[in-house]
Structure 1
Amino acid sequence: MGTIVFKMTAKQISTLQKDLASYATATNNPYASFSAKVDGTSVIAYTSGKVTFQGAKPEVLASRFGYQAEPKQSPEGQNLALIGSDEVGNGSYFGGLAVVASLVTPADHALLKSLGVDDSKNLNDSKIRQLAPLLEEKIPHKALLLSPQKYNEVVGDGKAHNAVSVKVALHNQAIFLLLQAGAKPDKIVIDAFTSEKNYQKYLKKERNRFDNPITLEEKAEGNYLAVAVSSIIARNLFLENLDKLSQEVGYTLPSGAGTKSDQVAAKLLQAYGDQALQATAKYHFANTKKAYQRLK
């Protein structure tokens, strides 16, 4: 679900109220002058002049009333040889942590565009599984997977890593290996998961280092094809690991860290005991405690 907020003139708000009168809804918000719901998009006009559009595609409705999105740089138009790195699995209780670094040059752009490469968060798992093998074959990359068992050995109180430093270590190692294999990028971009200060703090602890500067950028998978490629390959690696773990324990392990994960974790505890979570999940997540509470 997306949200767009922008300021409108009194005349624009008046036009909005007239055009959406038949979609008007009641509101108890004392600061709202008008509210409506159109095809799944909620609209609220405030007395301050700000208007919010919230829904699956809020920009479609907002554009009717003067909203203009900031122009987005086309990732395939960047004339750079670029290493992009991304991770998948960090927010999922079950499954490992996958990190991939990929080298994409301008010569790859046409192919990637023809394959429909995009931010993997916008692709369903079926499309991810279809694209990843093609990308693995065509694009130079290094992929690392930290299994749940190994993750639990190194991440946690009193252990070598916390949830951030372990990602720094994996991103650094994947990029290092790609550079060692002969990659010569003009730029290196990591999809930001922490601040530059934090990244550099944890990087000092790493043995394998390189001189190339790195850029940490939020939502980089939507701005750079190299990061998008890494995101897709990493997602597939994570899904394959989740499939393998599911087969081993005889339960379908869900992605994510919601109630369903709590339920499955409780079943694993009942069937196999604590060691099952050590082997399939990121043990320090709150889901572990919730699973135990379900057994009381």
Structure 2
Amino acid sequence: MSSIVLQLSEKEKSQVKSSFSYATQPSKNPYVEAFFKPDGASITIYSSGKVMFQGEKAETYAQKWGHKPSTSTTTQQNNPMIGTDEVGNGSYFGGLSVVASYVKPADHDFLKSLGVDDSKKMTDQKIRQIAPLLKKKIAHQALLLAPQKYNEVIEQGYNAVSIKVALHNQAIFLLLQKGVQADQIVIDAFTSPKNYEKYVRQESNQVPQAISLIEKAESKYLAVAVSSIIARAMFLDNLDQLGQGIGITLPSGAGHKSDVVASQILRTHGMAGLAKTAKLHFANTQKAQKLLK
């Protein structure tokens, strides 16, 4: 999905508002001046002057206000930016880690020298080797939602998507609070912009800048790749710690092996033990209970 952010003058913002007045939609974000949903796109005007175009026809609409399409990933990254990613969403055991990282063009050579890439393409050994170096060099904000807290939040009415929205939003908000100045903020897309906007409205802290949700962003932007590595290392450490605490090695993922281990935990520690180590709303819980019987 295309996502384009432009910095427009007051005159240009007025022109956008006039052009898309027929497609005006409400927005509860206090930093949004206007929000439009024309055919094939969504357009958000922020009080900062940034205007975000998202959707299949984003480039078509944005070109009217000076956007020039570029296929160069290097060009897309040639500015200070924040990138976020999460790890643990698809794993039954372990928490959910979300990281926002601030990367400047001056950091690129350092990151490339370490072989920074999408964490899904790297071994756990490599991730654990370079994550401490990234944490020391790159400004970032890391959040970890432990399984027990995750389960409590689910009971309070959150779902798997709204939890991620809340964590990504909070990580970005806290990183900006540290004083970094990002020209662009990119989230590795895990839901649609419409869904993200719906859930983020419910959060008390609002990010005052345009945010782009881009599919497979971890392989396109170094800032997102850094976040994916730090988040993966954090998830692995948490998985190890939880396993040591309960005396059982916990697997990553949500396959049959997780069902078997979960049934062992139920047998020795009961549901309370499982609640401390696993995301209970996964189907693995029911499967483990059947195995136990």
The TM-score with structure 2 as length reference comes to 0.75
1:74 is displaced (CA, Å) by 4.1
In structure 2, C-alpha distance between the alignment counterparts of 1:187 and 1:233, rounded to whole Å = 20
Q: How does 1:86-165 map to 2 (within 5 A)?
A: 86-156=85-155, 159-165=156-162
Q: 2:152 & 2:202 partners in 1: Cα distance?
A: 18
Question: Aligned residue pairs: how many?
Answer: 224
Specify whether residues 126 and 229 from structure 1 end up closer, same or farther in structure 2 by C-alpha distance, changes over 3 A only. Answer: same
C-alpha distance 206-166 of structure 1, shift in aligned 2 (>3 A): same
Counterpart secondary structure, 2:198: helix
Alignment gaps of 5+ in structure 1 = 1-70
1:176 to 170, 173, 176: 173
* Structure 1 letter corresponding to 2:231: A
**1:207 aligned partner:** 204
Distance 2:72 2:219 in 1: 9
Cα distance in 1 for partners of 2:252, 2:75 equals 30
**1:221 and 2:221 equivalent?**
no
Query: Matched residue of 1:170: which SS?
Result: helix
Structure 2 regions of 5+ residues with no counterpart? 1-69
State percent identity of aligned pairs. Answer: 65
**Alignment correspondent of 1:282:** 279
Q: Distance in 2 between matches of 1:106 and 1:176?
A: 22
In the alignment, the residues of structure 1 paired with residue 218 and residue 72 of structure 2 have an alpha-carbon distance, to the nearest angstrom, of 12
- The two structures have a TM-score, normalised by structure 1, of 0.74
Report the CA distance shift for 1:136/1:170 in structure 2 as closer, same or farther (over 3 A). Answer: same
In the alignment, which residue of structure 2 is the partner of 1:83? 82
Which position in structure 1 is the counterpart of 2:267?
Answer: 270
Two-structure CA RMSD over aligned residues (Å): 1.4
C-alpha distance in structure 2 between counterparts of 1:195 and 1:75, whole Å: 25
Question: 1:72 deviation in Å?
Answer: 7.1
Determine helix, strand or coil for the equivalent of 2:160.
coil
What CA distance in whole angstroms lies between the structure 1 residues aligned with 2:231 and 2:99? 6
Distance 2:75 2:115 in 1: 11
- 1:82–1:226: 8 Å Cα contact kept in structure 2? yes
CA–CA separation in structure 1 for the residues paired with 2:85 and 2:252: 17
Q: CA deviation at 1:241?
A: 0.2
Higher radius of gyration, 1 or 2: 1
Residues 35-54 of structure 1: pairs in structure 2 closer than 5 A: none
